[in-house]
Structure 1
Amino acid sequence: MNFQRLSQFLLVFLSFYGFSQTTKTGPVIDGYGAVWEINNPDFETDKSQEFKVVFDVKDGPESDTEINRNINTVARFLNMHAQSGIPSSQIKAALIVHGTAARNLLSDDAHKARYKIENPNRELVEKLLEAGVEIIMCGQSSKTRDLPKEDLIPGVKIALSAMTANIQLQNQGYRPIKL
């Protein structure tokens, strides 16, 4: 069997067993959070329940030119559930940021002043905020890393601590996902 025939066979085989060939972004966060379509999963998604999640992100990328893949995971969460037919009214997400990821919440001007480049995460963070994601920076990280509120992307909130924000959101029924 030549390579072209093998490729065609695999494409048909994988399609038959519910594997999508490409990822796609949207409909909630266009350009970020690409996910695979999963056809006929064995563990069905209950589309009647509410999905309330708080993502805890402490690690940022080593390079100041990279998008934080953990923040992008929030976009993946929103997109995959919306693509699967879950209404946006049933999806609630919060993002708590601390540690080395805190710098990923800087405005372009503040990021450029520190790292000589605009923040590659700014657009993603703004799109998450526009989609209703509550983005909270740890106040302790803000002070430790000298990241004052006026240097952050507008809409980002500061809490007493990441721990405090996690407890409060979990008390409101949010399920934690640590990234």
Structure 2
Amino acid sequence: MHKTLLVALLPLLALAQPASAQMENFKPGPVFEEFGPIAPVQQSEPVAIDSMFKVSFDVAKAADPDKLNRTIESAARFINMHVAAGVPEQNIRLAIVVHGGASFDLTHQEFFAAHKDGATNASAAAIAQLQEHGVKFYLCGQSAAAHGISNADLLPGVQMSLSAMTAHALLQQQDFTINPF
């Protein structure tokens, strides 16, 4: 009986190990080296080097304590992946629209710590680096109001929008697509 259970579990154990081992394939990218790791991919249809990207990311889930917000890191991965694939960085324009519980991830350290049991806003440095590369950050004003966040509480460069819905609608009018991840 125990032998049968072990035989049944072996395939599951085999699947669990390669996932962590495969993370070794991920390396720092050419633009952001401290975050946004990428893996090389043999593409069936390579991305054309003259591709133009205008993409918005929707962020509602807050970062885990003392960790970089996963969706903000995904934006860095997006840039790293495409630059590594040969797309010039100037052909990539990203906007990050933040609302809900993630709203605090756009606040300066003092405000963040006061509302997160003294935790560090681990997303702040990445946000600053992303902004240096042209990434725009928008905070939903409705979420900000719900969480007691004012413009003075925001990290430098973060823009307050009427709402996340408004920010996405305006970005779509500027030909931005919404990244579903």
Secondary structure, counterpart of 2:45 in structure 1? coil
Q: Which residue pairs with 1:38 in the alignment? A: 41
Q: Which residue pairs with 1:3 in the alignment? A: none
State the number of aligned residues: 159
Does structure 1 retain, via aligned residues, the 8 Å contact 2:29–2:38?
no
Q: What is the CA–CA distance in structure 2 between the aligned matches of 1:20 and 1:114, rounded to whole Å?
A: 33
Q: Which residue pairs with 2:140 in the alignment? A: 138
Alignment of 1:1-179 (within 5 A): 22-39=25-42, 41-61=43-63, 63-115=64-116, 116-179=118-181
Q: What is the CA–CA distance in structure 1 between the aligned matches of 2:180 and 2:150, rounded to whole Å?
A: 24
Normalized against structure 1, the TM-score is what?
Answer: 0.83
- Residue by residue over 1:16-38, the C-alpha shift from the partner in whole angstroms, topping out at 9 and shown as x without a partner, is xxx99621223222201001011
Which letter does structure 2 place at the counterpart of 1:27? P
Does structure 2 retain, via aligned residues, the 8 Å contact 1:93–1:133?
yes
Consecutive aligned runs of 4 or more in structure 1 exceeding 6 Å deviation = none
Give the Å deviation of 1:47.
1.9
Secondary structure, counterpart of 1:94 in structure 2? strand
Secondary structure, counterpart of 1:35 in structure 2? coil
Cα distance change, pair 161–20 in 1 and its aligned pair in 2 (3 A): closer
Higher deviation after alignment, 166-175 or 107-116 = 107-116
Q: What is the CA–CA distance in structure 1 between the aligned matches of 2:75 and 2:143, rounded to whole Å?
A: 20
Q: What is the CA–CA distance in structure 1 between the aligned matches of 2:47 and 2:152, rounded to whole Å?
A: 41
Normalized against structure 2, the TM-score is what?
Answer: 0.82
- Long gaps (5+) in structure 1: 1-18
- Long gaps (5+) in structure 2: 1-21
Give the Å deviation of 1:88.
1.1
Secondary structure, counterpart of 1:25 in structure 2? coil
Higher strand share: 1
Higher helix share: 2
Q: What is the CA–CA distance in structure 2 between the aligned matches of 1:152 and 1:32, rounded to whole Å?
A: 22
Q: Which residue pairs with 2:15 in the alignment? A: none
Secondary structure, counterpart of 1:153 in structure 2? coil
